């Protein structure tokens, strides 16, 4: 049967299309008269132009090719839109714009192309994006004929000259001030061109016979998207030149009519109605999408349910995707090749189901299928197996953030012979032309405006290339897109959702995972494998603060394979290999505790991380070297470093060699600076006789520079192989040094090369394992390996978190700081003239420095490199002395007074004095007293006499400051009005004796305490402050304040780090546009600057609210003499106030609680945090502890602060509650012990959102017995620990704040009510705490506890 388009071509003078009165809805539908006119509704156009180039005319969709079905297939509103476009195009001769929601962008695109197909209109198409430039809209320069510049018309100019319909798709996506380039063309049909010519209107051309005439039939049809509640934000001069029409969603009734028309009659009407009705809650759907979903169900009933089909086509109510669990029975797919040649792939029920879902998506009419899932969920392997099952060749196209819309289709280059500029196809374009399968790996990494530029290719099958070529895709062309689920801003926008068929790929079930690992590693002990899978399960249960932290603790499929590959040969090393794989040494302390607890629970021995000086068998290293040794063809590439054999670095060498022996293709070697990573690698390569290729990465390293080095020679672009290409070609080991300093996406591009064995190069060649005679194929040598060296992420290192992105791709190895024996050996080799006792002094000092860094006392990790520098100085200039030699490595910290004092304390303990004066030491705890029996009855509370000699008084009722007595202010006694610490050992009376005090005496004592507290507070308001106390406290935490400020400054710098801004007319040459530069283009430069949309992971949009709840109860004062807990609390509070004052990123609340009240406001964000105010707050805390009556309100304080806190707040609760005395049990904290306590709310996968609830950290200090330890064990996720030294309190607070801010910068959430990602009705109800309202979202909560050890008076 002849289609409408071909019918018109055959009968150009006579076109007939009748309505047949299909229903009353269509009595004014589409009609054509007996002559050559066209009528749509009541608009008739005589003799509309008819195109002659079939490559420029869109084809009718398959469901509309039989033109007599048009009235029954199209809803009335679509016919109305077609009528309007005909009216604007050929009656009013106006440029027009179709507007609507992003979800219906494909509907508008379909309507416009349908209009062009029905009218036989030739079309020029421009997919607008942020990268669209003036050259894309006017003329692009090319070099031709041996160096001459040629100007090539672009789509708008071609459309204007030949009278075509110019489609501008995505008007809102272009950067501002780009589209005004076309303003004069829209208004007056005039446009000056870069080659000196000018487009002029037909009237001007007829009058002057000059310029290039714009064809009268030239028209501009634009497509734009508007979000609900928004108006168009177009530049007014541009907006005024268009006539706009809103294309709203089709009514449910009309959708149902169109759906039934496209159905094969397999589904009953009730099912169709239910499907259509369910799509009404998502803001409308396109007719094409609903018909695709119906076709999908009809082909695969009863395996696929209607809701699952809607999810697969991006129309689910909750925005979900189809999953393997949605398949009720195996899909019936014929003609598949079920044999696999990949020895590293084991098929399971789940992988087969995902593969079948992909093929089913293709067979139901979709060209593109998106597989979305976390790392290690087998997506890449399944995509490869799908291609084999379909009998298609697979091309891998690894995407990265710097890609433009043009880069997805073609790249520019020059002809090797003539030097003329040319265009090269990308893997996507090659696959579309040849009919193969392309895998787009990482669609979540590119901008959404770049991704949606592929809509025409993937939806319509029409390819329009940057060089002007256009063709329809091969019938066998298919695309599989691979991505990770959204974390912050969802990359799956409504427009993106309409382009793909969506499949959610989850990690494999345990049994299937076990089966895979047993088949891949048949020699692996099954008991060890079960332990490993149990560990994976335990770590998956862990609830953490962010997706980033969760990833660090997960054992993905890739990580499990790395572990099993090693453990198969070294079963006794399971614990050590797990620690290396998870990079445990560089995780926060609480994460290390989680891993240790999970290992212990699974029966896996925890390796000793200490640097014990143990013997080492060097024979194991030599044996492995012998088995892996190579024959170097180029000895100049084999490094030969100076190296002193030592057991510490030999253990690291053995670890690397074991991984190398079992065939690991890529290693990630991580360690602090100066621990010898480069020395170890070079020494190993020397012993192995391996040729090395070396790349030093840095901030300005690019993907281009990693793969090729372009240069201009005799007017031609010549690409030189990079060390990466040479290493792959000749089987060398590529060493990537300082990989964490490069942008993460640069190194991440290697994932395709490491895992899939493919990498497309800028010059059109492909690195792969195929041994082909094709000159564009570079075969990867089987001996090719990549060894990557990095520093750990986080302060004080400035690098990026490479491990977060790539740790599962690499086999991970940690190079620890040297043990003392290894340190000693290396230093002796560098200082043969240095006296042994000096070397020993340096070794011991550096060991203490290492421990201080591990505890967080100092931030800089002093390493072997600094110690070697000291020894070298002493060896050459022994008379300078050790102090001067050490000065060379500590002068960096000289101007930081508190840090200099801290370092002086460490060095002085080993006889190396840095400062002239002693540092201030902390006041030691006093001796404990004994049980006391009062000498008098308690009846008359009073302050007591003041002893001028401060003689200890025990058991009496006369002197103030006594202990174990009656009536007077003191400690450990009974009946006194308040506490008074004179600095003596405390003698405590029994609780039975305390109970003998009469109620009348208790009331008088309470009244005296209240009066004394009020007087103290009045004195504070009058400025009667103890500045000596403030000075002492400040000196104790100066270093912590300095470190915390430095850390927060470093994180802020990361969030403000500049990026490369491209497409500029000045700056540095963009090496990706060197061909454009050669051809004379202008916007070929880049420069550093802040991104215009601040679209980076570290963006902080709102202040972080910190609520510090401090215990100012009586016991804090009473037991300060034992462990100085009150002093430590004051120091921690002072540290928070001083660090966060004037920092707009934080809002600090400090609230006290004691026996009298659960809420005592001390500080709020409006409080002036000068030193005077800080001291007033501290004195107020001391006064409350001294004069308040005994009691505890810890649980009520928790309830109150959590009720007031908002989502994302950080709550730190400090208490020394006596658990037994105040009958606080684990059950009282039961709401805080579930896995939901600090969790992520995960709304459906398409709109995943990382949302902090709250987290609880209980830290017990000063515990007597096992009470605190027992409670700590019952708090999940290592959020409880016992701290036996109160001096660590400021360190703990610092760690909590810095980690919380780091996670906020990683997983920032915009908490605006209009954020479409936040779906309140999908949040599970939060856990309750006492009288908390169930509607309150959860903050992050940390509790710091002491276990009380006695009475209060």
Tens digit of pLDDT for each residue in 412-465?
A: 887 777 778 888 899 999 999 999 999 999 999 999 999 999 999 999 899 889
Backbone angles phi, psi at 168, to 5 degrees: -105, 105
Q: What is the pLDDT of residue 24?
A: 29
Q: What is the pLDDT of residue 657?
A: 93
Q: How far apart are CA 924 and CA 1122, in angstroms?
A: 9
* DSSP assignment of 1137-1198: HHHHTT-TTEEEEEEEE-SS-S-EEEE-TTS--SHHHHHHHHHHHHHHHHHSPS---HHHHH
Written as six digits, the tokens of 1184 are 């409350």
Tens digit of pLDDT for each residue in 470-510?
A: 899 999 999 999 999 987 668 898 899 989 999 999 999 99
Q: Detail the DSSP E strand segments found in 716-771.
A: 716-721, 733-737, 758-760, 766-768
Q: 730 falls in which pLDDT band (50, 70, 90)?
A: very high
Position 1122 pLDDT exceeds 90: no
Residue 1066 burial by CB count (10 A; 0-12/13-18/19+): exposed, middle or buried?
Answer: exposed
Residue 913: CB atoms within 10 A of its CB come to 13
Q: What is the pLDDT of residue 1344?
A: 43
Instruction: Write out the H or E segment, with its range, that includes residue 306.
Output: helix 306-312
Mean pLDDT throughout 797-810?
84
666-670 and 785-790 as β-strands: parallel, antiparallel, unpaired?
A: parallel
Residue 1082: CB atoms within 10 A of its CB come to 16
Q: 1334 falls in which pLDDT band (50, 70, 90)?
A: very low
**Considering the chain, what percentage of its residues have pLDDT values greater than 90?**
32
Q: What is the pTM of this model?
A: 0.79
Q: How far apart are CA 55 and CA 402, in angstroms?
A: 31
- The DSSP bridge partners found for residue 99 are 224, 246
Place of tokens 């084991």: 346
Q: What is the pLDDT of residue 502?
A: 95
Position 1083 pLDDT exceeds 90: no
Tens digit of pLDDT for each residue in 517-551?
A: 999 999 999 999 999 999 999 888 875 555 556 77
Least confident of 655-659, 917-921, 1329-1333: 1329-1333
Tens digit of pLDDT for each residue in 176-198?
A: 788 888 888 998 999 999 889 99
Q: What is the pLDDT of residue 408?
A: 93
Start-to-end CA distance of the chain, whole Å, equals 102
Q: 655 falls in which pLDDT band (50, 70, 90)?
A: very high
Q: What is the pLDDT of residue 455?
A: 93
Higher pLDDT, 1124 or 157: 157
Cα four-point dihedral sign 432, 435, 439, 444: positive
Position 675 pLDDT exceeds 80: yes
**Considering the chain, what percentage of its residues have pLDDT values greater than 70?**
79
Q: 1317 falls in which pLDDT band (50, 70, 90)?
A: very low
Backbone angles phi, psi at 792, to 5 degrees: -65, 155
Q: How far apart are CA 415 and CA 1324, in angstroms?
A: 61
Q: How far apart are CA 1300 and CA 1208, in angstroms?
A: 10
- Number of alpha helices (DSSP H) and beta strands (DSSP E) in the chain: 50, 42
Starting from the edge strand earliest in sequence, which strands make up the sheet with 198-200, in order? 191-192, 198-200, 212-213
Q: How far apart are CA 653 and CA 639, in angstroms?
A: 16
Position 1023 pLDDT exceeds 80: no
Least confident of 16-25, 332-341, 798-807: 16-25
| Relative orientation angle of helices 557-567 and 526-541, to the nearest 10 degrees | 150
Residue 654 burial by CB count (10 A; 0-12/13-18/19+): exposed, middle or buried?
Answer: buried
Q: What is the mean pLDDT of the chain?
A: 79
Written as six digits, the tokens of 121 are 């209109």
Position 26 pLDDT exceeds 50: no
Alpha carbon 983 to its chain's center: 53
Q: How far is CA 872 from CA 430, 821, 826, 827, 886, in A?
A: 60, 19, 11, 9, 11
Residue 1097: CB atoms within 10 A of its CB come to 15
Least confident of 398-407, 562-571, 1182-1191, 1310-1319: 1310-1319
Q: How far apart are CA 680 and CA 666, in angstroms?
A: 16
Q: Is 735 helix (H, G, I), strand (E, B) or coil?
A: strand
Alpha-carbon dihedral angle through residues 74, 80, 83, 85, given to the nearest 10 degrees: -100
- The DSSP bridge partners found for residue 814 are 670
Residue 732 · residue 784 · CB < 8 Å: yes
Q: How far apart are CA 525 and CA 1013, in angstroms?
A: 69
Position 696 pLDDT exceeds 80: yes
Alpha-carbon dihedral angle through residues 234, 237, 240, 241, given to the nearest 10 degrees: -100
Least confident of 612-626, 864-878, 1060-1074: 1060-1074
Higher pLDDT, 890 or 1076: 890
Q: 65 falls in which pLDDT band (50, 70, 90)?
A: low
Position 687 pLDDT exceeds 60: yes
Instruction: Write out the H or E segment, with its range, that includes residue 396.
Output: strand 394-398
Q: What is the pLDDT of residue 1353?
A: 36
Q: 11 falls in which pLDDT band (50, 70, 90)?
A: very low
Q: How far apart are CA 928 and CA 942, in angstroms?
A: 25
Higher pLDDT, 535 or 252: 535
Position 1180 pLDDT exceeds 60: yes
Q: What is the pLDDT of residue 885?
A: 92
Q: How far is CA 1157 from CA 154, 1015, 1140, 1195, 1238, in A?
A: 75, 19, 26, 12, 27
Q: How far apart are CA 17 and CA 71, in angstroms?
A: 10
Position 1290 pLDDT exceeds 50: yes
Higher pLDDT, 1152 or 1003: 1152
Q: How far apart are CA 175 and CA 339, in angstroms?
A: 49
Backbone angles phi, psi at 1283, to 5 degrees: -110, 115
Residue 774 burial by CB count (10 A; 0-12/13-18/19+): exposed, middle or buried?
Answer: exposed
Position 17 pLDDT exceeds 50: no
Position 199 pLDDT exceeds 60: yes
Alpha carbon 1176 to its chain's center: 42
Tens digit of pLDDT for each residue in 307-343?
A: 898 889 888 777 789 999 999 998 988 888 876 677 8
- The DSSP bridge partners found for residue 139 are 153
Higher pLDDT, 967 or 1279: 967
Position 785 pLDDT exceeds 90: yes
Tens digit of pLDDT for each residue in 1024-1047?
A: 666 777 778 887 777 778 777 777
Q: What is the pLDDT of residue 804?
A: 78
Cα four-point dihedral sign 649, 650, 655, 656: positive
> Which stretch, 278-292, 758-772, 834-848, 1288-1302, has highest mean pLDDT?
834-848
Q: What is the pLDDT of residue 1289?
A: 66
Q: Is 421 helix (H, G, I), strand (E, B) or coil?
A: strand
Alpha carbon 248 to its chain's center: 36
Q: How far apart are CA 172 and CA 195, in angstroms?
A: 29
Position 1245 pLDDT exceeds 50: no
């Amino acid at each position: 049967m002849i289609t409408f388009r071909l019918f018109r071509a055959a009968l150009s003078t006579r076109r007939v299309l009748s309505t047949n009165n299909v229903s009353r809805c269509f009595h004014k539908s589409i009609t054509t008269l007996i002559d050559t006119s066209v009528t749509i509704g009541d608009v008739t156009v005589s003799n509309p132009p008819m195109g002659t180039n079939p490559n420029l005319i869109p084809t009718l969709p398959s469901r509309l090719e039989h033109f007599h079905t048009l009235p029954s297939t199209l809803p009335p509103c679509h016919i109305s839109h077609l009528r309007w476009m005909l009216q604007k195009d050929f009656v009013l001769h106006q440029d027009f714009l179709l507007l609507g929601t992003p979800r219906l962008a494909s509907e508008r695109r379909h309507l416009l192309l349908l209009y062009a197909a029905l009218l036989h209109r030739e079309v020029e198409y421009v997919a607008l994006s942020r990268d669209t430039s003036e050259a894309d809209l006017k003329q692009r320069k090319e070099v031709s004929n041996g160096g001459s510049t040629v100007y090539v018309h672009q789509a708008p100019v071609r459309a204007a000259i030949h009278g075509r319909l110019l489609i501008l798709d995505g008007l809102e996506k272009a950067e501002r001030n780009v589209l005004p380039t076309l303003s004069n063309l829209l208004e007056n049909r005039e446009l000056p061109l870069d080659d000196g010519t000018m487009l002029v209107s037909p009237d001007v051309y007829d009058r002057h016979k000059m310029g290039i005439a714009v064809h009268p039939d030239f028209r501009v049809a634009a497509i734009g998207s508007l979000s609900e509640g928004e108006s168009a934000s177009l530049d007014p001069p541009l907006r005024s030149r268009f006539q706009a029409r809103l294309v709203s969603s089709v009514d449910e009734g009309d959708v149902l009519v169109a759906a039934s028309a496209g159905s094969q009659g397999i589904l009953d009407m009730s099912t169709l109605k239910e499907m259509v009705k369910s799509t009404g809650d998502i803001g409308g759907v396109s007719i094409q999408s609903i018909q695709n979903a119906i076709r999908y169900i009809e082909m695969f009933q009863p395996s696929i349910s209607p809701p699952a089909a809607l999810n697969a086509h991006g129309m689910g109510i909750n925005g979900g995707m189809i999953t393997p669990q949605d398949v009720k029975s195996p899909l019936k797919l014929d003609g598949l090749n079920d044999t696999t040649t990949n020895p590293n792939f084991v098929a399971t029920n789940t992988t087969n189901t995902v593969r079948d879902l992909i093929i089913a998506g293709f067979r139901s009419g979709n060209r593109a299928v998106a597989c979305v899932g976390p790392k290690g969920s087998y997506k890449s392997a399944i995509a490869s197996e799908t291609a084999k099952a379909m009998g298609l060749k697979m091309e891998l196209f690894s995407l990265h953030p710097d890609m433009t819309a043009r880069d997805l289709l073609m790249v520019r280059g020059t002809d090797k012979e003539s030097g003329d500029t040319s265009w090269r196809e990308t893997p996507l374009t090659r696959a579309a032309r040849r009919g193969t399968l392309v895998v787009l790996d990482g669609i979540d990494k590119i901008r959404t405006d770049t991704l949606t530029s592929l809509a025409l290719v993937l939806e319509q099958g029409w390819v329009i290339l940057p060089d002007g070529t256009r063709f329809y895709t091969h019938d066998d062309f298919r695309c599989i897109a691979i991505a990770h689920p959204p974390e912050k801003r969802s990359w799956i926008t409504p427009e993106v959702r309409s382009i793909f068929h969506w499949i959610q790929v989850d990690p494999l079930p345990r049994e299937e995972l076990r089966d895979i690992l047993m088949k891949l590693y048949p020699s692996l002990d099954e008991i060890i494998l079960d332990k490993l899978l149990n560990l994976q399960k335990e770590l998956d249960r862990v609830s953490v603060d962010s997706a980033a932290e969760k990833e660090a603790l997960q054992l993905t499929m890739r990580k499990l394979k790395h572990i099993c590959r090693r453990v198969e040969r070294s079963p006794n090393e399971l614990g050590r290999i797990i620690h290396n794989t998870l990079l445990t040494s560089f995780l926060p302390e609480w994460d290390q505790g989680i891993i240790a607890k999970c290992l212990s629970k699974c029966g896996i021995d925890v390796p000793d991380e200490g640097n014990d000086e143990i013997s080492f068998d060097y024979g194991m290293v030599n044996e492995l070297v012998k088995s892996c040794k190579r024959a170097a063809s180029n000895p100049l590439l084999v490094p030969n470093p100076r190296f002193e054999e030592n057991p510490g670095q030999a253990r690291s060498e053995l670890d690397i060699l074991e991984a190398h022996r079992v065939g690991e293709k890529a290693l990630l070697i991580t360690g602090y600076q100066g621990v010898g990573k480069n020395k170890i690698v070079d020494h190993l390569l020397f012993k192995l006789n391996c040729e090395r290729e070396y790349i030093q990465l840095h901030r300005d390293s690019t993907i281009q520079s990693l793969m090729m080095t372009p240069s201009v020679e005799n007017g031609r672009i010549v690409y030189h192989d990079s060390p990466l290409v040479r290493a792959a070609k000749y089987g060398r080991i590529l060493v990537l040094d300082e990989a964490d300093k490069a942008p993460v996406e640069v190194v991440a591009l290697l994932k395709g090369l490491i895992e899939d064995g493919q990498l497309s190069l800028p010059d059109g060649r492909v690195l792969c394992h195929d041994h082909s005679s094709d000159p564009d194929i570079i075969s990867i040598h089987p001996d090719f390996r990549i060894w990557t060296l990095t520093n750990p992420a986080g302060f004080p290192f400035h690098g990026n978190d490479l491990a977060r992105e790539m740790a599962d791709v690499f086999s991970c190895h940690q190079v620890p700081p040297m043990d003392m024996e290894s340190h000693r050996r290396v230093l002796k080799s560098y200082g043969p003239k240095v006296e042994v006792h000096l070397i020993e002094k340096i070794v011991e000092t550096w060991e203490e420095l290492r421990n201080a860094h591990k505890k967080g006392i100092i931030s800089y990790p002093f390493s072997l490199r600094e110690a070697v520098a000291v020894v070298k100085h002493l060896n050459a200039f022994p008379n300078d002395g050790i102090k001067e030699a050490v000065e060379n490595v500590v002068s960096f910290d000289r101007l930081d007074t508190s840090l200099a004092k801290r370092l002086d304390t460490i060095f002085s303990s080993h006889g190396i004095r840095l400062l002239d004066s002693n540092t201030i030491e902390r006041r030691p705890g006093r001796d404990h007293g004994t049980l006391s029996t009062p000498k008098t009855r308690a009846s008359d509370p009073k302050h007591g006499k003041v002893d001028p000699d401060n003689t200890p008084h025990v058991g009496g009722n006369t002197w103030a400051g006594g202990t174990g007595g009656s009536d007077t202010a003191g400690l450990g006694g009974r009946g006194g009005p308040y506490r008074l610490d004179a600095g003596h050992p405390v003698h405590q009376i029994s609780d039975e004796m305390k109970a003998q005090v009469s109620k009348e005496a208790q009331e008088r004592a309470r009244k005296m305490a209240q009066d004394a507290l009020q007087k103290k507070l009045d004195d504070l308001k009058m400025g009667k402050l103890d500045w000596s106390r403030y000075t002492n406290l400040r000196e104790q935490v100066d270093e912590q304040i300095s470190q915390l400020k430095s850390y927060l400054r470093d994180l802020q710098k990361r969030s403000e780090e500049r990026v490369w801004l491209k497409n500029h007319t000045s700056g540095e040459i963009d090496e990706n546009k060197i061909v454009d530069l050669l051809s004379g283009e202008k916007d070929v430069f880049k420069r550093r600057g802040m991104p215009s949309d601040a679209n980076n992971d570290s963006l902080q949009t709102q202040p972080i609210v910190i609520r510090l709840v401090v215990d100012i109860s009586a016991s804090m004062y009473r037991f300060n003499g034992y462990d100085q807990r009150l002093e430590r609390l004051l120091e921690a509070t002072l540290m928070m106030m001083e660090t966060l004052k004037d920092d707009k990123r934080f809002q600090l609340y400090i609230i006290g609680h004691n026996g009298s009240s659960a809420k005592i406001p001390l500080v709020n964000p409006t409080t002036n945090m000068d030193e005077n105010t800080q001291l007033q707050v501290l004195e107020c805390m001391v006064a409350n502890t001294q004069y308040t009556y005994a009691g505890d309100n810890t649980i009520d304080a928790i309830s109150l602060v959590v009720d007031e806190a908002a989502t994302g707040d950080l709550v730190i609760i400090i208490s020394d509650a006596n658990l037994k005395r105040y009958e606080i049990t684990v059950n009282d904290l039961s709401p805080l012990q579930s896995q939901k306590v600090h969790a992520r709310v995960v709304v459906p996968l398409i709109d995943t959102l990382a949302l902090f609830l709250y987290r609880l950290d209980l830290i017990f200090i000063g515990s007597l017995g096992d009470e605190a330890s027992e409670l700590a064990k019952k708090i999940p996720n290592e959020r409880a620990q016992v701290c036996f030294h109160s001096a660590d309190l400021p360190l703990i607070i610092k760690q909590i704040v810095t980690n919380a801010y780091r996670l906020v910068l990683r997983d920032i959430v915009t908490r605006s009510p209009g954020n479409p990602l936040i779906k309140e009705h999908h949040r599970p109800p939060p856990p309750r705490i006492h009288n908390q309202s169930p509607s309150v979202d959860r903050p992050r909560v940390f509790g710091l506890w002491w276990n009380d050890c006695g009475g209060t008076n």
